[in-house]
Amino acid sequence: MTIPAPLNPRERLLMGPGPSTVPRRILSAMGASTLGHLDPQYIEYMDETCQMIREVYQTENALTFPVSGTGMAGMEAVVVNLVEPGDEVIVCINGVFGGRMKDNLERAGATVHTVEVPWGETFSDDAIAEAVEQYPKSKMLGIVHAETSTGALQELRGISQIVHQAGMLFAVDTVTSLGGHEVKVDDWQIDAVYSGTQKCLSCPPGLSPVSFSPRAIERMEARKTKVQSWYLDVSMLKNYYMGSGGRAYHHTAPINMVYALRESLRIVLEEGLENRFSRHQEMHQLLRAGLESLGLQYIPKESLYTLNCVSVPHEVDEAKIRSKLLQDYDIEIGGGLGVFAGKAWRIGLMGHSATRRNVGTLLTALKDCLG
């Protein structure tokens, strides 16, 4: 057997849809000594991490913790714990990740009613009110706050009121917004929310911060059937993350990934949430002005600061340009997904990647690649 050469990955400027660039502070924290998952010192670190997740989510929810897995594990945890076979649910689809939520719900045995708008658009309060009236037996409505496939940013306040007035739970995907856009779980009365570490938190991929409201916990405790997934069963997981009389073993937590998340959250809170949101907005405006000066047009009317989705001119080979950016400049941006495949670029401004220097570097390189 030939032993591979030592690991020596290139240093890329990560400006795609994720992961974002990881600061040295976080990589160093990840390399700290591994502890046991029931070690009192690790439990203290984990509790600190959960508290900081609450602060970034702006919630007092006791059941807030990092799921062992990426953002899609967080999505699945929300689905399988809050939905039983035969339940009716409403899902809003305006891109790839609304479609994934629907797929998850169907696999959990739910009857899914969809509300759909063209990719790149967002949902009006009236459209949601109409769906809620049409499907009054639905137990939950799920929506994507930051649709990574289109760069669309969804307003949630009015929708939350409509959903709760109908007696439904409100579940939200914040994978590409948490840490870059305002997410107010308590003020917006979000009952179940999930995100990912590799986007605006600038942590390596591998954990999914989730939070469940007291209403969501009541729904879990009233279940008549076992949760479909043993690994993601929150009725067992909460005895580890919330156990006051001792922590009940469920699975071996990814210790060093929690170290990394803890450090990334420290960085977020050191900067301050409002300062962080302002920085992402400023960098978005700077990038947008530069892209539009190159003749590129944004696809969504309500664009994320953190994920910029632009149409590629018909005469341009978008994959060739992305390849040139990667090979010649060590810059990664993303291509389009679904109906936008081959027609769009997705440019991330997330966390540590959202800097004036990075925006300037990308615009200069992109201008050269476009000739």
Helix (H, G, I), strand (E, B) or coil at 303: strand
pLDDT in tens, 206-242: 999 999 999 999 999 999 999 999 999 999 999 999 8
49 and 263 in contact (C-beta within 8 Å)?
Answer: no
345 and 312 in contact (C-beta within 8 Å)?
Answer: yes
CATH number of the domain encompassing residue 104? 3.40.640.10
What was the pLDDT predicted at 280? 98
pLDDT in tens, 343-360: 999 999 999 999 999 999
Q: What is the mean pLDDT of residues 259-265?
A: 98
What was the pLDDT predicted at 7? 94
Boundary-marking domain end, from 269, 288, 304: 269
pLDDT in tens, 50-77: 999 999 999 999 999 999 999 999 999 9
CA–CA dist 348, 15 (Å, integer): 5
Residue 188 and residue 66 share a domain: yes
Q: Which class for 260: exposed (0-12), middle (13-18), buried (19 or more C-beta within 10 A)? A: buried
Residue 191 and residue 84 share a domain: yes
Instruction: Give yes or no for residue 282 having a pLDDT over 80.
Output: yes
Residue 176 and residue 100 share a domain: yes
Q: What is the mean pLDDT of residues 42-48?
A: 96
pLDDT in tens, 2-33: 999 999 999 999 999 999 999 999 999 999 99
CA 252 to chain centre: 23
Residue 56 and residue 151 share a domain: yes
Average pLDDT, the chain: 97
Is the Cα torsion angle 229, 232, 236, 238 positive or negative in sign?
A: negative
Q: Which residue has the tokens 């942590």?
A: 203
Residue 179 and residue 43 share a domain: yes
Question: Is residue 81 in some structural domain?
Answer: yes
Residue 315 and residue 183 share a domain: no
pLDDT in tens, 194-215: 999 999 999 999 999 999 999 9
Residue 227 and residue 131 share a domain: yes
Residue 16 CB contacts under 8 Å (≥ 6 apart), including other chains: 332, 333, 334, 346, 347, 348
Question: Is residue 327 in some structural domain?
Answer: yes
Range of the domain at 204: 24-269
Residue 326 and residue 258 share a domain: no
Boundary-marking domain end, from 222, 243, 269: 269
pLDDT in tens, 96-118: 999 999 999 999 999 999 999 99
Question: Is residue 1 in some structural domain?
Answer: no
Question: Is residue 152 in some structural domain?
Answer: yes
Q: Give how far Cα 143 sits from Cα of 58, 160, 305, Å.
A: 19, 10, 19
Name the CA radius of gyration of the chain, rounded: 21
pLDDT in tens, 142-175: 999 999 999 999 999 999 999 999 999 999 999 9
